[in-house]
Amino acid sequence: MNTIASTRSDPLAPNAAADGDRPPPAQRPRLTDARCAPTREIRIVDEHGEQRSIHIPAERPLTVFVDRRELVTLMTLGARPELLVLGYLLNQRLVEHAGDVESVSVDWDVSAAAVRTRAGVHDLAERTARRVVTTGCGQGTVFGDAMAQLAGVTLPDALGARIAQGTLQRLLATMREQDSIHRKAGSVHGCALFRGEEMLMFVEDVGRHNAIDTIAGWMAMRGEGGADKLFYTTGRLTSEMVMKAARMGVPIVVSRNGVTAMGHELASRLGMALFGRAANRRFLCYTGAERLDLEPETLRQPPPVRLVSD
């Protein structure tokens, strides 16, 4: 049975993981390490007329070129741009495996990412011609055949991937304590990948789509499957977020926000457990309740006392 941990390792760091923990070098692309500062300091005037310094997210455009053909411009914080680009290509099914990509190079002097594939992307112009506008923050398009591609996606059955109520609540506590750009500057979304109660990867970006694509790139570089993982996001669970999680093979998805009707429908069809409005000790299980192991001792704990002043 897979339970829904490994260190918070960084695939771009020199000693992030031994080669035995990743796909062989011939099967993974070469990545540059072109990170940018995620925030910028500015001066503001507050409601008292006082001037002070604050930090804001340093959003910047990144235009992606695949085999010298312009593909898309992503708005991003730029903390892990190579993983973002790789995950984007995988989640859009423009490439099937990380090994299909020879290299991803990012140059912030020209705000561009150059992707070299090993055998080209078949019918790239035709496959990207039809776009569906989505609710994405920063970038929000999915290519027209994305829905059809879900037909081949299967997730572990409910006996193979489950989560205990206490595990979910401790995971939410971990996210409450996580140091984040959002606490410092606001205006960003965060996504995390868990195995059990341990966080494997955490990333923030201007859009939740960017953050989940970056995690997809991280998984691909390490050869990580999704069957024993849980995905967490601060953003709402739209159809596109559910599709991306499904392509990553993750059967349990948790959001601090809510769920749209199409996101709910897709998760139900896929057999995915979808938790929303998850904060503190509270959550709503929208789909896949058969994957949740309720714990009576947890249910018997009284809710926190709220003091109301006169």
pLDDT digits (tens, 9 = 90+) for 176-191: 888 766 666 656 788 9
Mean pLDDT over the full length of the chain: 82
- Which 3-state string (H, E, C) describes the chain? CEECCCCCCCCCCCCCCCHHHCCCHHHCCEECCCCCCCEEEEEEECCCCCEEEEEEECCEEEEEEECCEEEEEEEECCCCHHHHHHHHHHHCCCCCCHHHEEEEEEECCCCEEEEEECCCCCCHHHHCCCEEECCCCCCCEEECCHHHHHHHCCCCCCCCEEEEHHHHHHHHHHHHHCCCHHHHHCCCEEEEEEECCEEEEEEEECCHHHHHHHHHHHHHHHCCCCCCCEEEECCCECHHHHHHHHHCCCCEEEECCCECHHHHHHHHHHCCEEEEEEECCEEEEEECHHHEECCHHHHCCCCCCCCCCC
Span 47-57, pLDDT tens digits: 888 998 978 77
Q: What is the pLDDT of residue 182?
A: 60
Q: How confident is the model at residue 159 (pLDDT cuts 50, 70, 90)?
A: confident
Residue of higher predicted confidence among 45 and 15? 45
As a whole number of angstroms, the distance between CA 226 and CA 231 comes to 9
Question: Which stretch, 41-45, 113-117, 202-206, has highest mean pLDDT?
Answer: 113-117
With 50 as the cut, is the pLDDT of residue 10 above it? Answer: no
Q: How confident is the model at residue 139 (pLDDT cuts 50, 70, 90)?
A: very low
Walk me through the domains of the chain, giving residue ranges and CATH numbers. 11-150 (3.10.20.10), 161-299 (3.40.140.10)
Span 235-284, pLDDT tens digits: 899 998 999 999 999 999 999 999 999 999 999 999 999 999 999 889 99
Which of 66-70, 187-191, 198-202, 298-302 has the least mean pLDDT? 298-302
Q: What percent of the chain has pLDDT over 90?
A: 54
With 70 as the cut, is the pLDDT of residue 73 above it? Answer: yes
With 60 as the cut, is the pLDDT of residue 141 above it? Answer: no
Q: What percent of the chain has pLDDT over 70?
A: 78
Residue of higher predicted confidence among 170 and 38? 170
